[in-house]
Structure 1
Amino acid sequence: MLDPIADMLTRIRNAQLAGHSSVSMHASKMKFVLASILEHEGFVGRVEKKTEESGHETLCVTLKYTQVSPTKKVPAIQELTRVSKQGCRIYVKKSEIKKVKNGYGIAIVSTSQGVMTGTEAFRRGLGGEYICRVW
């Protein structure tokens, strides 16, 4: 696995498209912070870090859906896109952080003061690596 963040985002996207209630993956600090931001913003239900018998940590993300009809549910995440990739890092200044889908989505930025949403980074006057956008 070359890019663990892209792998995490792909697992979440695929699990929602398949209609799964949760998804598990290997845990890391960065993945936990990203999942916690998604939880705080209301895109996923619950984020847990579990330790397996072998000692490896696993991140379990409960997915969130909206019940449209008795037989149909719509995922809370419509699109989850990795922006900055390992081969082509994308850095943004405070002035370059734009609203995602007119404020319906979020940008996730890694700044010198930690990983945060684009609106929080803008409020603090920080720029950084543009990790992904969600809506």
Structure 2
Amino acid sequence: MTDPISDFLTHLRNASKAGLAQCVSPHSKMKESLAVILKSEGYVRDVASGTDERGHKTIIVAMKYVDTAPVITGIKRSSTPGRRLYAGYSEIPRVLNGLGISIISTSKGLMKDQDARRNKLGGELVCTVW
């Protein structure tokens, strides 16, 4: 596994398309803060941590649906290990004219695009969600 963030986003995408109640993935601090941002923006219902049968820490994301339609209609990795994408605060792209969010890795941690623009912080474009 060369890109754990991309793997986590694929777990979320597949769980929402399949209509699963929850998504379980290996834990990391970046995945946890990414899931917390998705929860605060209303894309997922709940975020919790647990352990698997071997004792490894996992992150459990409860998916959110509106009338059996997934709230996450699209989620895309922007920056990859082979091609890092960075943007200044004025160059952060708007997703679907403000209907979606970009998640940026700044020096102050992960932030959604509006918060990064407000705090005048640029950084690595992690993903876009709509």
Please give the range of the TM-score, normalised by the shorter of the 2 chains.
over 0.9
Paired residues for 1:15-34 under 5 Å: 15-34=15-34
2:91 corresponds in structure 1 to 96
Residue identity opposite 2:103 in structure 1 = I
Q: Secondary structure at the match of 2:82?
A: coil
Q: Secondary structure at the match of 2:49?
A: strand
1:120 corresponds in structure 2 to 115
- List runs of 5+ in structure 1 lacking aligned partners: 68-72
Aligned residues: 130
Q: Secondary structure at the match of 2:90?
A: helix
- Equivalent-residue separation in structure 1 for 2:127 and 2:52 (angstroms): 29
Normalised by the size of structure 2, how large is the TM-score?
Answer: 0.97
Query: 68, 76, 84: which one pairs with 1:81?
Result: 76
2:124 corresponds in structure 1 to 129
Q: Secondary structure at the match of 2:55?
A: coil
Cα RMSD of the aligned pairs, angstroms, is: 0.9
- List runs of 5+ in structure 2 lacking aligned partners: none
Large movers: runs of 4+ above 4 Å: none
Q: Greater CA radius of gyration, 1 or 2? A: 1
% identity of equivalent residues? 48
- Equivalent-residue separation in structure 2 for 1:134 and 1:76 (angstroms): 10
